[in-house]
Amino acid sequence: MKFNKLTIAAAVSAAFVTGAVYAQAARDYISIVGSSTVYPFATTVAEQFGKTSKFKTPKVESTGTGGGLKLFCSGVGVQYPDIANASRRITATEVDTCAQNGVKDIAEVVIGYDGIVIASARKDKPLNLTREQIYKAIAKDVPKDGKLVPNPYKRWNDIAPWLPAEDIVFYGPASNHGTRDVLVELVMNPSCERLPEIKAITDEKMKKAACAAVREDGPFIEVAENYTVAMQKLLAAPHSVGVLTFSFLEQNGDKIQGATIDGQSPTLANIASTKYPLSRPLFFYVKKAHVGVIPGIKEYVAEFTSDKAIGQDGYLEDKGLIPVPDAKRKEERAKALNLENVNLSVAP
């Protein structure tokens, strides 16, 4: 029996399609990766979703925002995650990486607010800090006598005489955490960019790198693990501080307290109104190419953005999520349900 080239090509194509369909059918649950900040919220929604819908409980992994988006952007197919949680907005570079790997349509979902907290043990004296003081405590290089020098500050009262006469021991997020990016955006950059020594740098890449660099001489200690580990470390080291989240503070208020920053306390009201200077929105991103292939993605988005989950008195408020104001929440829910593509030119 003879076969021409077209017949062979058709057979190969049919086999490939059959294999692809089989592979797609091999995963019948939603795969979610990303932010350790969003993780407890996503886990709660996943459990609720599994109990109340016809779909399986999604698998949620805490990989850090940067690590999660890297996995998310690696490609289309059942071997790649469907959703990435993020404690900061996806960047243009990450969107480009996604596109290069075939992930061209990405929906952005805003779920609420959280605040970065500079936490200390409940037994320690409460701290009242400014962003500039935090910057001076953790920056690699700081201004002195008109030039940038390696950070000389060893104790808090080296920065300001009214601060504690204690060694600076600062547990901060490692570079794989979205919280690290937000720390740079909300603390390091505003304090650094107005310095004459930084303004004198004409190379924008050098300027950006200078503002984002944290010290490596001991006082700043990177924590690559989750917030539980960061809390354990600061509780074990007297007079130390650590970068946690408001939601984590809410769950562990018997052990830790949050510093006042620029005169504002990390309270639900101050974060929701963005008066607290370290407030931030939280996100997750949906790979639209997987919608209709992996069962339940649209329904999961609907559950997560429902008023019963993220609204006032929603079940995620008990976990520490701060609701978006009503009008904005309705607007964001409509975008989420329509799976609108992320638009980085519009503020979240």
Query: What is this structure's pTM?
Result: 0.76
Across 177-204, average pLDDT? 87
Q: Is the pLDDT of residue 52 over 60?
A: yes
In terms of Cβ atoms closer than 10 Å to its own Cβ (0-12, 13-18, 19+), residue 75 is: middle
Task: Answer yes or no: is pLDDT of 2 > 80.
Answer: no
Give the Cβ contact number of residue 6 at 10 Å.
8
pLDDT at 226: 80
Residue 96 tokens, joined = 């480009």
- What CATH number does domain 15-113+281-337 carry, 2.30.30.760, 3.40.190.10, 3.50.50.60, 3.40.50.720? 3.40.190.10
Say if residue 257's pLDDT is above 90: yes
pLDDT at 315 over 90: yes
Within 8 A by CB and 6+ apart from 305, the residues are 109, 111, 332, 333, 336, 337
The pLDDT confidence band at residue 3, using thresholds 50, 70 and 90, is very low
pLDDT digits (tens, 9 = 90+) for 217-251: 999 999 987 888 999 999 999 899 999 988 889 88
Share of residues in the chain with pLDDT > 90 (%):
66
Which pLDDT does position 143 carry in this prediction?
86
Please, how many CA atoms are within 13 Å of residue 23, restricted to the half-sphere of its CB?
A: 12
How many residues are recorded in the chain?
Answer: 348
Residues of the chain with CATH 3.40.190.10: 15-113+281-337, 115-279
Q: Tell me the two tokens of residue 123.
A: 């037994």
Q: Identify whether the C-beta of residue 236 lies closer than 8 Å to the C-beta of residue 169.
A: no
Q: Maximum Cα–Cα distance for the chain, whole Å?
A: 93
List the helix and strand counts (H, then E) for the chain.
16, 13
Residue 8's pLDDT is what? 38
Mean per-residue pLDDT over the chain, rounded: 89
Higher-confidence residue of 208 and 162: namely 162
pLDDT at 96: 97
| Fold of the 115-279 domain | D-Maltodextrin-Binding Protein; domain 2 (3.40.190)
Of the candidate ranges 84-93, 244-253, 257-266, 333-342, the one whose mean pLDDT is the lowest: 244-253
